[in-house]
A = this chain, B = another copy of it.
Amino acid sequence: MTTIRQLEYITAIEDHGTFQAAADACHVTQPGLSAQVRQLEDLLELQIFERGRKRVLVTPAGREILDRARRVLIAVEDLQQAARSSSKPFTGPLRLGVIPTVAPFVLPAVLPKVRRAYPALRLEVHEAHTPELVQALEQGTLDLLLLALEAPLGDAATLALFEDAFMLALPRDHRLAGRKRVRESDLAGEDVLLLEDGHCLRDQALSVCNRAGALEIGDFRASSLTTLVPMVASGAGLTLLPALATRTSAALDRDLALVPFSRPVPKRTIGLAWRKTSPRGDEFSELADLFSAAANTTRRRS
């Protein structure tokens, strides 16, 4: 009969590339693991792995099996989590994924609050770009995401926390620096600096620029907002900063001017996302209160 353990073994093999490493990861010996895999293959009457020289290959049929095995394991994981949180919610591990353009501006305020409110919760933060986060969510590697809801999120359940308006960031001596407000159309013909590929913020800012007729500077793409801001301050061009990022010390450069947009204000929506099938949806909704409260204090501070 098919067993959960067998499925854990084969996914471990795919994850680690060799039987040996998988066996270690599963805390069993290699022959034991081999036997189980063999048994599963016999049962399904198909070969999952091609035992090759120096490396294990996944057969086409095995590919399908592995994908489904992971779904089974997620469902099992969810069941166990459901059991835990039905008796004592806000307990155990919670793997949170956050995008880089949000993490540094929200987490410092939120994490302590979470620790205080739910000491039994073991929060584990992973930072990555939206597509990786979404994939990890679907694979069950992450439980909860904190990101911009405008990006494609598959069929995750989402909950908006707050809106994060974009502001125009530009050198103090720029012609627009004195303005009380700017319109998107004011950007026409300007040189803008953007983040490197992968950041959803880049895509959002880029679409604003395209609409407005601004031109991205060709030879530079910042790897983070922290590197982007000094570039703008030093006169290399202007950029769009989410309001969330404008209250942090790095943005308080004396050579940097910040001008809000007039309506309609370009913005992004920061929120939480989780698997629709997650047993902890209720907990996440409750956590959301903490998140938006903390984010508000961050934004008001300064």
Q: Give A contacts to B, CB under 8 Å.
A: 1-5, 7, 44-46, 61, 64-65, 68-69, 71-72, 75-76, 78-80, 82-84, 86-87, 277, 279
Contacts and interface: CB of A to CB of B under 8 A. Distances in A.
Nearest to A48: B83
Contacts of A65: 79, 82-83, 86
Given A4-B1, A76-B2, A83 B61 contact: yes
Contacts of A1: 4-5
Contacts of A45: 83-84, 87
A68 B82 contact: yes
Contacts of A87: 45-46, 61
B75 A71 contact: yes
State the majority secondary structure of interface residues on A. Answer: helix
Given A45-B83, A69-B79, A75-B75, 6 more contacts: A1-B5, A44-B83, A46-B83, A61-B86, A64-B82, A72-B75
A76 B83 contact: no
A73 to B, nearest CB: 9
Nearest to A70: B75
A239 B240 CA distance: 64
Contacts of A3: 3-4
